[in-house]
Amino acid sequence: SSILLEGIEQGSLPGPMEASPKIQQKTQSFRWCSRSGSPTHVGVHQLPTSPVATTERAPSLIFGVSPERTPRHRSFVPRPPCRVPDALSTSTRGMHLLGSSRAPLEPRARSLVRAGGDLPQPPGAGVELLDPDTVFQLLKTRGVTVVDVSGNDAAGLIDGSVRVPAVDVAPFARVPELVRRFANQGLVIFACQDAQVPHCATRYREQADKRQRVAILRGGVREWQARGLPMRSTVEKSMQSPVKRASQSPQIMLRPEGRYRAPVLPNTVPTNGGVEHLDPETVSKLLAEQRCVLVDLRGDDRAAGIIHGAVHEPAIDRVPFTSKVPGLVQRWANETLVVFTCQYSAHRAPQCANWYREQADSKQRVAILAGGFRGWEARGLPVSSLASDDQAAIADDFAIRQGVHFVQQHAPQVYRRAQAFTQHLQNSHPTQETGRLETTY
């Protein structure tokens, strides 16, 4: 284990060590003695300034510590103290002592110490530091985007974040693209699991509009996880096929093929001109290449499963979707393609796509996911939080009933036409048990 010590002054080492230990010099290392009498050799190495030096910037020192047991047959007598080296003769706030200790590291300390790499640098001017709880609340408002710049080995993603690796073909080469993409956002927050985030945020700050706020998530993704805030499973490497990616991750599941049968949905809302219908494979590829935004319009029926990488924007909410459209058009103004989906893409998806198409730039493509979530799942594409058969049936029933209510409220002409068609079918082909058509949606 390792320990991080701050505020080390001449002749004292705070924390789990004794307040006034004795330091012995031996070649290029120092010998520290604790109260218990067990000596420790301490090697000193110079490193760049660390961000924990908050009050003053002083060169940081890395101490390599190795414990040494005192023989049991005799007691250890500490050596007399020697002169403190010049390197320690001044205040050394921000000094790091890495070595053997029973005291566990705090999460913040662990995030600062990275094996085989530099310590993270402090953010540049104009870049804020926001704690996870604050960011969680901000994500509920409009005009806020969290950008995860972790690599493909990320253990997970913050729910609602956008993943853009900082180090791709060329380090930070995508910053100008991000500036254009998020130009309409009031606040852009960068998150990461390594030391790349301060550099990326600083470069973004240099090129972005000065009126736009730029921030870093304090503690990164690990601190977010430690506080129990919502996460979604890892975004897999785009070079792998969706099925292969799903088989490699326990959080991504597939429903066996052949178990899905599309229902009869007479209340299906027709799409207006300029709204495309894209098959699941096409959307999956575009999503993996970050060339589209997939908008999940479902509510409680999301319990059936979640398409990886989709943005959740419920069609039925406290705020009517028609009132959300202007903000969404502004939010996704820099996207080339916006795809809408619900459980079947029969009710909510086409209606919301029609509303969005009316106000979006004519150059921007607008589409619905053919077959919706169930169509995606039926093609064997990966989903997370896959429900059991019973839960799936409940979610489907909820989706259809909610969708019909949505159509009745927002597309009454479609509802009336569907009712007439359903009545005709009921009169022509009644069931033996109830005298009604089994599927009347």
Domain span holding position 166: 127-232
Let me know whether 310 and 375 are in one domain: yes
HSE at residue 156, side-chain half, CA atoms within 13 A, is 18
Domain boundary among 199, 232, 265: 232
pLDDT digits (tens, 9 = 90+) for 39-68: 444 454 444 444 443 333 434 444 444 444
Let me know whether 186 and 297 are in one domain: no
Let me know whether 206 and 289 are in one domain: no
The confidence score (pLDDT) of residue 17 equals 41
Interaxial angle between packed helices 348-359 and 389-410, expressed in degrees from 0 to 180 and rounded to the nearest 10:
50
Burial readout 282-311 (b: 16 or more C-beta within 10 A, e: otherwise): ebbebbbebebbbbbbbbebbbbbbbbbbe
In whole angstroms, give the CA distance from residue 253 to residue 384: 6
Total number of domains constituting the chain: 2
In whole angstroms, give the CA distance from residue 439 to residue 441: 6
Q: Is 372 contained in some domain?
A: yes
State the CATH number of the domain containing residue 309. 3.40.250.10
**Residue 100 pLDDT exceeds 50:** no
Q: Is 165 contained in some domain?
A: yes
Let me know whether 286 and 191 are in one domain: no
Percent of the chain exceeding pLDDT 90 equals 25
Let me know whether 210 and 310 are in one domain: no
Lowest mean pLDDT segment, chosen from 144-148, 189-193, 367-371, 391-395: 391-395
pLDDT digits (tens, 9 = 90+) for 63-80: 444 444 444 444 444 445
The confidence score (pLDDT) of residue 168 equals 53
Q: Is 51 contained in some domain?
A: no
Interaxial angle between packed helices 412-428 and 389-410, expressed in degrees from 0 to 180 and rounded to the nearest 10:
120
Which tokens hold the place of 166? 């900082």
Let me know whether 303 and 228 are in one domain: no
Q: Is 417 contained in some domain?
A: no
The sheet carrying 144-148 orders its strands as 127-130, 213-217, 187-191, 144-148, 162-163
Ranges of H-type helices in 249-364: 280-288, 321-331, 348-359
Let me know whether 211 and 307 are in one domain: no
Of 285, 348, 268, 290, nearest to 316 (Cα)? 348
Domain boundary among 208, 232, 256: 232
For residues 1-20, give the mean pLDDT.
40
Let me know whether 351 and 281 are in one domain: yes
Which of 142-146, 166-170, 287-291 ranks highest by mean pLDDT? 287-291
Q: Is 384 contained in some domain?
A: yes
Q: Is 244 contained in some domain?
A: no
Q: Is 54 contained in some domain?
A: no
In whole angstroms, give the CA distance from residue 255 to residue 159: 23
Q: Is 400 contained in some domain?
A: no
Ranges of H-type helices in 360-388: 372-378
